[in-house]
Structure 1
């Protein structure tokens, strides 16, 4: 039986939002959604659960374990909703003592005796003089890296001591990873099994460092419990890079998921810099790249599997949305092209849109790249109305012909008695095979160029001929103004100005064919 979701009411001062949570919800997802909907900073957001059943107690929700425990508690009590407060760190007076205690724990953890070589410190790093005229001092990159104010507080308390329990070995390993990064030390496994984990400081043999952790299931319980925890180092081997060798792809993906929701186009090199500046963590570029791939897969699904499910998707669309036109083309079982036009889009265009079609292509930026070809219309509310789109390998004459053949089929081979307008106006940039495809499948249509594409193409040709940037800008503006004029006299005035500047620019304009670009020469009914 599927687990029922719990309604989580997250409030902040006078605002509140409803969110659905269950045992699979992560603290990252909950905090991100709450911060986004309540307009609070994600980095300093604190969540607290108010339990009215035990005397209005308030519990901080700092990690996935806290969130899972809260969900289980609500299920055990049969609660269908839960109240959670959201506030910025230090803003809620009722939680100042808890926050101060967390800070004190962090300060204590930084003062662990790790020998004279230890770099962990709570004091502000020394500043180095520079040659600024103002005489101000600046910190070096190493000074900034050694500061750990931006490391989340719960990283420092991911491991609390003997008796702490974890749902699985996977959860314990992840907590150990966060803890070692916050405390900046390296570790190695003595035993790494599903039911028994023994961990030592990396320098146990070399420096006889006593730090260790042992966890195994207690009696009649499948969870792992920390049976022994010696949280003390004597190796003196802490430095800014310590604890980072185990920054796995999974860890990077977990940290990246909230960021990718708002910045899906973020580059791996930018992620690498942010990890360094935010947490002082140096991570290899390859790990960052694969971590981003895993985060995208977690958020949006596996791209390879999605392509493999296209056959199923075609059948489901035909069953649930009759009248739709969808076709997948394959070559020896390998995907090559996809054409999609839904029934609602067809009817919307035929009955509610102007006889205008805009054609264009753009790049796809997933793992397999490719091109998205699209045909959109213009509805009666001055809005863009999608008609059909195609996914293919590249923008060329062959793919445009294949796409426009599909468009012609859905418009002119319909059993519906309604006939589409015979005179379609098709607007595009007229490059990369569109013009030839339009002439073949829509010979009676009026094919016009997009003015902005045209002007940009015109300026590019002028630059190739050696025109100065100022001249190309002026001539492009003249051509754009001429295209928007409604009388031939006005058109001629601007074209004469172009001709006076340079005869070559005039010849380029006339080769475009005025009837394909100017309002004054438009042959159809406006």
Structure 2
């Protein structure tokens, strides 16, 4: 009976927290009386402070940290972050057509086991962070996988959109217009799995948001951007059209008009012509970009004013021309040239 309890205790301790606690608390104790006679002296100005521990740690990292492309896992494998550790575990399961579930995940501990654990496969893995060196390391692996490895599915459960976005983000950086089909082929060549077109589209949207920011964040940055333009380019005109929101101190952007100071001053030396046009915006939020341009003495296009509105409606055009008349020019007898059809409405400019 006593021997059976010892065996059970040993099995449970394989994935316990004891080792990780020791790693965080294994600093040598220093006797307090050793520091009583220490005298501190300020060094001369030509002395340079060098963090020797940091230099050793950097050298250690460069020589010992593993890559998530190794496709193999072993005890002692080290990574610079928890994310890199998880990525390596996922890469291993992609390349060997296995699957696992997370049984414990904390800021300093990550434990996983085979999806068939307890039903014939006893594979488990435990990784934790070393507080002393600030690195992640695989502490224990119980295995290998003894379940059947059959790649009969086109997709893998752990091959989620966020993970794929991290892997292909450099492709999107190099070519933001990369086709979705090219991403599907890239995932197939890297991991051996074929994702759906919709999943690849979501992956690209996630990558684009991580590179350029999401739609909501971009709209929130718009006033800040215009404030910066007006600060560094005094005389630039910006006018907003907004409606109230249910939340206090929150507004819904309906329209925005802007004209740069050089365009306002330069229009006085252009032909009395305004060519206006609008183009619809593609993205999460619909809208129309209105543009007014003129022609200088060399017959070159001269941009005058811009606006983002809800669409090419009568109210939007009236608001656009009102701002041009108010802030860009008060000159009479300006010829308006519209590319497209305005209907029977003609602006009184």
Residue 195 (structure 1) aligns with: 108
Q: 2:95 aligns with which of 168, 179, 182?
A: 182
Structure 2 equivalent of residue 411 of structure 1: 328
Higher relative contact order structure (alpha carbons within 8 Å, sequence separation ≥ 6): 2
Count of residue pairs brought into register by the alignment? 283
TM-score (norm 2): 0.68
Superposed displacement of residue 409, structure 1: 2.0
* Partner residue, 2:267: 349
CA distance in structure 2 between the partners assigned to 1:170 and 1:220 by the alignment: 19
Of 339, 342, 350 in structure 1, the residue corresponding to residue 257 of structure 2 is 339
- SS at structure 1 position matched to 2:104: strand
Question: What residue number does 1:59 align with?
Answer: none
What SS class does the counterpart of residue 191 from structure 1 fall into? strand
Partner of 1:431: 341
**1:33-432 equivalent positions in 2, closer than 5 A:** 156-157=69-70, 159-208=72-121, 210-218=122-130, 220-229=132-141, 232-239=144-151, 241=153, 244-261=156-173, 263-265=175-177, 271-272=183-184, 275-276=187-188, 279-284=191-196, 287-332=199-244, 333-351=251-269, 353-379=270-296, 383-413=300-330, 422-432=332-342
1:106-154 deviation per Cα after TM superposition (whole angstroms, max 9, x unaligned): xxxxxxxxxxxxxxxxxxxxxxxxxxxxxxxxxxxxxxxxxxxxxxxx6
**Residues 71 and 95, structure 2, Cα contact 8 Å, conserved in 1:** no
State the match for 2:348 in structure 1. Answer: 441
Query: Cα offset for 1:296?
Result: 1.8
Q: Secondary structure at the match of 1:236?
A: coil
SS at match of 2:119: helix
- Residue deviations 1:296-320 (CA, integer Å, cap 9, x gap): 2111112212223444444444333
Richer in helix (by share): 1
Distance in 2 between the 1:378 and 1:176 partners?
61
Match of 1:143 in 2: none
Tell me how far 1:225 sits from its aligned partner.
Answer: 0.9
Partners of 1:294 and 1:410 lie apart in 2 by 40
Structure 1 residues 228-280: Cα deviation after superposition (integer angstroms, max 9, x where no partner): 23573332223153872112222232244333345435565664465346643
Preserved CA contact (<8 Å) 1:360 1:373:
yes
Cα 1:354–1:280 shift into 2, 3 Å: farther
1:432 and 1:76, CA in 2 relative to 1: closer, same or farther beyond 3 A?
same
On the 8 A contact 2:181/2:197 being kept in 1, the answer is yes
Unaligned runs of 5+ in 2: 1-53, 60-66, 245-250
3-state secondary structure, aligned to 1:205: coil
2:262 counterpart SS class: helix
State the alpha-carbon separation in 1 of the partners of residues 155 and 116 from structure 2.
13
How far the C-alpha of 1:376 sits from its partner, in A, is 2.5
Distance 1:219 1:398 in 2: 63
Residues 224 and 368 of structure 1: is their aligned pair in 2 closer, same or farther, counting only changes over 3 Å? same
Q: Structure 1 pair 76/179, CA: closer, same or farther in 2 (3 Å)?
A: closer
For 2:148 and 2:110, the matched residues in 1 are separated by 24
In structure 1, runs of 5+ residues without a counterpart are 1-71, 78-153, 414-419, 443-526
Q: Distance in 2 between matches of 1:75 and 1:319?
A: 45
CA deviations on 1:31-70 (whole Å, 9 max, x unpaired) are: xxxxxxxxxxxxxxxxxxxxxxxxxxxxxxxxxxxxxxxx
Determine if contact 2:321/2:347 at 8 Å carries over to the other structure: no
In the TM superposition, residue 411 of structure 1 has moved relative to its aligned partner by 2.9
Contact 1:180 1:243 in 2 (8 A): no
Q: What are the within-5 Å matches in structure 2 for residues 23-34 of structure 1?
A: none
Distance 2:103 2:95 in 1: 22
How far off its partner does 1:191 sit? 2.1
Provide closer, same or farther for how the CA distance between residues 299 and 73 of structure 1 changes in structure 2, counting only shifts above 3 A.
farther
User: What is the TM-score with the length of structure 1 in the denominator?
Assistant: 0.47
Change (3 A) 1:278 1:199: closer
Whether the 8 Å contact between 2:165 and 2:206 is mirrored in structure 1 is yes
CA contact (8 A) 1:337 1:391 kept: yes
- CA distance in 1 between counterparts of 2:208 and 2:342 reads 32
